[in-house]
Amino acid sequence: MKILKQIWNMISIPLVAVILAVFIGTIIIFISGSSPIQAYYGMLRGSLGGLDSITRTLEKATPLIFSGLAVAIGFKAGLFNIGAQGQLLFGAITSAAVGFMIKGLPWFIHAPLALLAGGLAGALYGAIPGILKTTTGAHEVITTIMLNYVAINFTDYLADGPWKDRSLSNVVARTPEIELSAKIGTIGPIPIGFIIAVIAGVIIWWLLWRTTWGYQIRTVGLNPNAARYAGMRVSMVVILTMVFSGLLAGLGGAVETQGVVGRYQPGFNVGLGFDGITVALLGKTHPLGAIPAAVLLGAIKAGSSEMQFESGIAKEITDVIQALILFFIAADMIVRWIIRRRVEEGAEKVVLSTGWGKH
Amino acid sequence: MINRIKLSKILNLTTIAAAVALIIVIFSYSRDAMVTQAVLNSMIRQSTPLILGALCGLMCERSGIINIGIEGQMLLSAFTGFIISATTGNLVLAVISSILTGAVLGLLLAFMSINLKLDQIIGGTVINIFALGITGYFYSQTLVAKTKLSPIPLEPLTQIPLIGPVLFNNPPITYTAILLVFVIQYMLFYTKWGLRIRAVGEHPRAADTLGVNVNKTRYISTIVGGAIAGLAGGFLTLEAVGSFERAMTNGRGFVALAVMIFGKWTPLGAWGASLLFGLASAVQTQLQFGGRLLIPHQFIGMLPYVLTIIVLAGFVGRARPPAAEGKPYEKE
């Protein structure tokens, strides 16, 4: 009984938030003149209606787990990394470059190499806002958003310039297809990328709660002044957290390139980084919470194409539902009032809006 | 002694930058009047949404509410303005609906920050994602607007060389933006209302003790700020482009925050900063179309964002934001 209660305590707020969001989404679909029942039927079929659909759901969930972890680890240190999108793009294009430029490697070297290169690119790009924050005090929310736009432009340039697919049949901006040895496949219906993502989630959990370094991250997130007083090097922790966050986002991009797209093409990875914010908050900024949250969002995404096909409702309704989920999660006071629950004592609360000044 | 202090105040970086820009403008006007005027016109066009966004940001922040949702407020207002314009053909109604949309989103931000005590940065992010989703969902390419706001020349003034056609031959929202700079500057620093707003943003407890209703003041400031962001959205669809595209705000809401910081949370300073940003993008567009620059267009596209980062990194440490920013106020 006690375990059941604990589980309920853990999932009740996200669950009610999702139900409320879907309810309002239903009203919006109804207002715009379509049938909600048809819409949800299509969505269910597209996400869970068969092995293919389940594979697609997990495929969609994979980069979201990574970007969700990226945002969540930032939150733990009191950092809001909205730049997961940009870091993910750099990860995606770098792994594509390693994937198509290097030839003749066996798969067990080539695929991990491309993955690692993608993660590294994301990590380096994530370091920039961390360094800017600690040295100049520039708030990471704005710098990471600006770096997203820089990343979009820069990867566009690479895919349309030096790394463009020069084969005769191609006219659009995209890189050549990666070598077969760099691709990541599936085991049965389960994409290998998904397995890697789950392992990453467990590693991040271990890192945050079982290592000194994780303890430092959490302390800095809860109270940077206390952390400084206790002798922790706050700036170092901030930079390293951003590096890790970028690494995870970069891996997300790399997995998407190697497991799904097969090359880098501008516009194919849009939104994956931003969705990480919803995933992280839906998972209560817990690394293991990010996994079910990402699967739920992945299912909505996978089902949305089928839904559009069956009921003619624009896929963007998923973005609306996602924003509503985010709203109800963030505004948990509304949800708490509905299910009559008080705020737990000693609950870890992330504080982000400390103004534009130093950390 | 007094003179020296004043001199050092005048000779800060912003003024130097403005002076350098002015010299370049005068020089290039003597070389090529046509191009210079085109660049300056484009500067005003580019700066309008930025100054409006920055005014929104500083209205909110002066009262202690961080508004990171300017981008979303602009986007949704741009959308509703466009929809009304396309369906009714009435531009006045369209502008009003833009302003109202912005105000409603301002109300939402205030409600989230004040009543729900939500982290304000997350509150703003909710607005941004919501606006992106809802405009994407209801957007359809079949809708077209037939007209857009056209320039109103203020007759005798347009005859002044260079300045005339640049400043006095603009569409209405551009005029309004410039007017708002002075109105808000006056309001914030020379009226009872402005004093209250600033007090609430700096030291809400003291303001409360003196009988100022902290939360009411914050509500009003944030709603007014939202309305101004709504006007910026209206500018994009009703005055600048004449149509709506997905995610057409393109980060302007965030650049506006940098403009606000660069201008040290004052309307006049922000106006100067927005003109500098506007000039930078105008010059690079001109170079691009003139074919005098052999840099891939993506690098030129990066410029405003890189500039924002530089501004943020270089200035945030020196400028001081309102002290009570981001913290919900609770009565004792």
Q: Model confidence at B276, in pLDDT bands (50, 70, 90)?
A: confident
Contact B306 A146 (CB under 8 A): yes
Residue B1 confidence (pLDDT): 41
Question: SS3 for B51?
Answer: helix
Return contacts of B83-90, CB within 8 angstroms, 24+ apart: B83/B138, B83/B143, B83/B244, B85/B145, B85/B147, B85/B148, B85/B237, B85/B238, B86/B143, B86/B144, B86/B145, B86/B146, B87/B143, B89/B145, B89/B146, B89/B147
Question: Which range scores top for mean pLDDT: B66-70, B113-117, B125-129, B154-158?
Answer: B66-70
Q: Model confidence at B78, in pLDDT bands (50, 70, 90)?
A: very high
Q: Once rounded to an integer, what is the mean pLDDT over residues B250-254?
A: 89
| 8-state DSSP, B248 | T
Q: Model's pTM, two decimal places?
A: 0.86
Q: Model confidence at B287, in pLDDT bands (50, 70, 90)?
A: confident
Q: Does residue B96 lie in a domain region?
A: yes
Q: Model confidence at A359, in pLDDT bands (50, 70, 90)?
A: very low
Match 């914010």 to its residue by tokens: A277
Tell me: pLDDT of A113 over 50.
yes
Residue B2 confidence (pLDDT): 45
Residue A96 confidence (pLDDT): 96
Q: Once rounded to an integer, what is the mean pLDDT over residues B44-49?
A: 94
Expressed as residue numbers, the domain containing B80 is: 15-21+32-139+156-315
Residue A351 confidence (pLDDT): 58
Q: Model confidence at B292, in pLDDT bands (50, 70, 90)?
A: low
- Two tokens, residue A304: 């949305």
Q: Once rounded to an integer, what is the mean pLDDT over residues A8-14?
A: 81
**What distance lies between CA B146 and its chain's CA centroid?**
26
Residue B137 confidence (pLDDT): 85
The CA-based diameter of chain A, rounded to the nearest angstrom, is: 66
Q: Does residue B6 lie in a domain region?
A: no
Residue B47 confidence (pLDDT): 94
Residues of A in contact with B317 (CB under 8 A): 136-137, 357-358
The residue with greater pLDDT, A245 or A324, is A245
Residue B177 confidence (pLDDT): 96
**Cα B99 from Cα B105, distance rounded (Å):** 10
SS3 annotation, chain A: CHHHHHHHHHHHHHHHHHHHHHHHHHHHHHHCCCCHHHHHHHHHHHHHCCHHHHHHHHHHHHHHHHHHHHHHHHHHCCCCCCCHHHHHHHHHHHHHHHHHHCCCCCHHHHHHHHHHHHHHHHHHHHHHHHHHHHHHCCCHHHHHHHHHHHHHHHHHHHHHCCCCCCCCCCCCCCCCCCCHHHCCCEECCEEHHHHHHHHHHHHHHHHHHHCHHHHHHHHHHHCHHHHHHCCCCHHHHHHHHHHHHHHHHHHHHHHHHHHHHCCCCCCCCCCHHHHHHHHHHHCCCCHHHHHHHHHHHHHHHHHHHHHHHHHCCCCCHHHHHHHHHHHHHHCHHHHHHHCCCCCCCCCCCCCCCCCCCCC
**Out of B123, B302, B316, whose CB is closest to A356?**
B316
Number of other CB atoms surrounding residue B267 within 10 Å: 24
Q: Once rounded to an integer, what is the mean pLDDT over residues A122-137?
A: 94
Q: Helix A107-136 to helix A234-256 angle, to the nearest 10 degrees?
A: 140
- Give ipTM to 2 decimals: 0.85
Distances (CA, A) of B317 to A145, B14, B58, B246, B253: 19, 15, 17, 35, 21
Tell me: pLDDT of B243 over 70.
yes
In 3D space, the residue among A69, A356, A62 whose CA is nearest the CA of residue A241 turns out to be A69
Q: Model confidence at A339, in pLDDT bands (50, 70, 90)?
A: confident
Contact A350 B309 (CB under 8 A): no
Residue A155 confidence (pLDDT): 95
Tell me: pLDDT of A316 over 70.
yes
Residue A111 confidence (pLDDT): 95
**Cα A81 from Cα A87, distance rounded (Å):** 10
The residue with greater pLDDT, B85 or B286, is B85
Residue A67, phi then psi, degrees to nearest 5:
-70, -35
Residue A352 confidence (pLDDT): 60
As a whole-number percent, the residues of chain B with pLDDT over 90 amount to: 45
DSSP secondary structure, B150-204, as one string: --EE-HHHHTSTTHHHHHSEE-HHHHHHHHHHHHHHHHHHHSHHHHHHHHHHH-H
CATH code for the domain of B225: 1.10.3470.10
Q: Once rounded to an integer, what is the mean pLDDT over residues B121-139?
A: 88
Q: Once rounded to an integer, what is the mean pLDDT over residues B162-187?
A: 90
- Contact (CB, 8 A) for A243 and A130: yes
Q: Model confidence at B186, in pLDDT bands (50, 70, 90)?
A: very high
Residues of A in contact with B326 (CB under 8 A): 353-355
In 3D space, the residue among B316, B308, B309, B221 whose CA is nearest the CA of residue B261 turns out to be B316
Residues of B in contact with A356 (CB under 8 A): 261, 316, 321, 325
Tell me: pLDDT of A183 over 50.
yes
Mean pLDDT over all residues of chain B? 86
Question: Which range scores top for mean pLDDT: A319-323, B3-7, B189-193?
Answer: B189-193
Q: Does residue B27 lie in a domain region?
A: no
Contact B116 A353 (CB under 8 A): no
**Cα B137 from Cα A29, distance rounded (Å):** 10
The β-bridge partners of A191 are A186
**Cα B97 from Cα B84, distance rounded (Å):** 7
Q: Does residue B145 lie in a domain region?
A: no
Residue A347 confidence (pLDDT): 54
Contact B298 A160 (CB under 8 A): yes
Residue A8 confidence (pLDDT): 80
Residues of B in contact with A137 (CB under 8 A): 316-317
Tell me: pLDDT of A9 over 90.
no
CB pairs under 8 A between A and B: 149
A346 Cβ neighbours under 8 A, 6+ residues apart: none
**Cα B92 from Cα B108, distance rounded (Å):** 24
Residue A358 confidence (pLDDT): 43
Tens digit of each residue's pLDDT (9 = 90 or more) over B12-46: 666 777 777 778 777 777 777 778 888 888 899 99
* Strand ranges in chain B using DSSP code E only, listed in sequence order: 152-153, 169-170
Residues of A in contact with B120 (CB under 8 A): 353
**Out of B112, B254, B317, whose CB is closest to A136?**
B317
Q: Model confidence at A307, in pLDDT bands (50, 70, 90)?
A: confident
In 3D space, the residue among A274, A276, A254 whose CA is nearest the CA of residue A264 turns out to be A254
Tell me: pLDDT of B153 over 80.
yes
Residue A340 confidence (pLDDT): 67
Nearest-Cα residue of chain A relative to residue B258: A142
Residue A350 confidence (pLDDT): 56
The residue with greater pLDDT, B89 or A95, is A95
Q: Model confidence at B331, in pLDDT bands (50, 70, 90)?
A: confident
Tens digit of each residue's pLDDT (9 = 90 or more) over A62-94: 999 999 999 999 999 989 898 999 999 999 999
Residues of A in contact with B117 (CB under 8 A): 333
Tell me: pLDDT of A357 over 60.
no
Q: Once rounded to an integer, what is the mean pLDDT over residues B264-268?
A: 91
List the single best residue of A34, A142, A275 to mutate versus B (max B Cβ within 10 A).
Answer: A142
Residue A335 confidence (pLDDT): 75
**Cα A245 from Cα A127, distance rounded (Å):** 9
**Out of A138, A150, A330, whose CB is closest to B118?**
A330
Number of domains in chain B: 1
The β-bridge partners of B169 are B153
Q: Does residue B269 lie in a domain region?
A: yes
Tens digit of each residue's pLDDT (9 = 90 or more) over A197-223: 999 999 999 999 999 999 999 999 888
Residue A245 confidence (pLDDT): 97
Min Cα distance A142 → chain B (Å) is: 7
As a whole-number percent, the residues of chain A with pLDDT over 90 amount to: 55
Half-sphere exposure for A244 (CA within 13 Å, toward CB): 26
Q: Does residue B183 lie in a domain region?
A: yes
Q: Model confidence at B3, in pLDDT bands (50, 70, 90)?
A: very low
List the single best residue of B65, B68, B248, B260 to mutate versus A (max A Cβ within 10 A).
Answer: B68
Number of other CB atoms surrounding residue B144 within 10 Å: 11
Nearest-Cα residue of chain A relative to residue B304: A146
Residue A271 confidence (pLDDT): 81
Residues of B in contact with A82 (CB under 8 A): 125
Residue B232, phi then psi, degrees to nearest 5:
-60, -40
List the single best residue of B79, B109, B218, B298 to mutate versus A (max A Cβ within 10 A).
Answer: B298
Residue B316 confidence (pLDDT): 65
The residue with greater pLDDT, A157 or B311, is A157
Q: Does residue B50 lie in a domain region?
A: yes
- Contact (CB, 8 A) for B103 and B50: no
Match 């930058």 to its residue by tokens: B17
Residue A176 confidence (pLDDT): 94
**Cα B90 from Cα A346, distance rounded (Å):** 55
Min Cα distance B253 → chain A (Å) is: 10
- Two tokens, residue A241: 């957290």
Q: Does residue B67 lie in a domain region?
A: yes
- Contact (CB, 8 A) for B123 and B69: yes
Q: Which amino acid is at B105?
A: L
Region of poorest pLDDT, from A51-55, A145-149, B7-11, B285-289: B7-11
